[in-house]
Amino acid sequence: MRIVSGIHRRRQLVSPDHDGIRPTSDRVRESVFNSLGSLGLVDDIRVLDLFAGTGALGLEALSRGADHVTFVERDRDALESLRENIEILEEGDRSTVIAGNAETFVATTTDWFEVGLVDPPYAYAGWVDLLERVPADVLVIESDREIDVPTAWESLRVKHYAGTVVGIVRRAAPAA
């Protein structure tokens, strides 16, 4: 696994050696960030990486010009890899790591983000509650299926990659 583009292009990342971690593939990350770039949503933004795992998505955002990424992860092995990857890329100044539950974080934070990266385990069932609370303008949603988003969100793009489905949604404008 490596960073696809930006200032850290081709730099290798570490990943724990167990089945519970499913890093987003290079191909999917490249497509996601090309889509975000076409929407003007990469440079100088604050990013929230929920269920961060190894941090590959958030670190790709930093490599491509994001100002800061807040990573939220609860798995100890993933946290160890995440912290090592931040150190390898020397991105500690532009990163915050929250060792905890994503649902708890979104329910309690007062921070706001331009982009949220949401990549829970594929069996995740808490989508509705999470999407109602996540503090971001635009979300990248990764799953093994299309996710029905609440009316507070509007779908911009949905792409299928073998067994992965990625949706990009933004907050819907309030009714006039």
Task: For residue 133, name the pLDDT band (cuts at 50, 70, 90).
Answer: very high
What is the distance between the alpha carbons of residues 74 and 53, in angstroms, rounded to a whole number?
8
Q: What's the pTM?
A: 0.94
What does the pLDDT look like over 84-126, one tens digit per residue? 999 999 999 999 999 999 999 999 999 999 999 999 998 899 9
What is the distance between the alpha carbons of residues 27 and 10, in angstroms, rounded to a whole number?
13
Nearest Cα neighbor of 71 from 56, 88, 85, 58 is: 58
In CATH, 26-171 is 3.40.50.150 = yes
DSSP class of 94? G
Considering Cα of 96, then 142, then 140, then 38, what sign does the dihedral take?
A: positive
DSSP class of 12? B
What does the pLDDT look like over 16-45, one tens digit per residue? 877 667 778 888 899 999 999 999 999 999
Report residue 141 as tokens: 């949603």
What's the rounded mean pLDDT across residues 60-69?
Answer: 97
Report residue 73 as tokens: 């992860």
Count Cα atoms within 13 angstroms, Cβ side, for 108. Answer: 8
What's the rounded mean pLDDT across residues 118-142?
Answer: 94
CA 19, distance to chain mean position in Å, is 19
**Amino acid in the structure at residue 121:** P
Q: Where are the domains of the chain?
A: 26-171
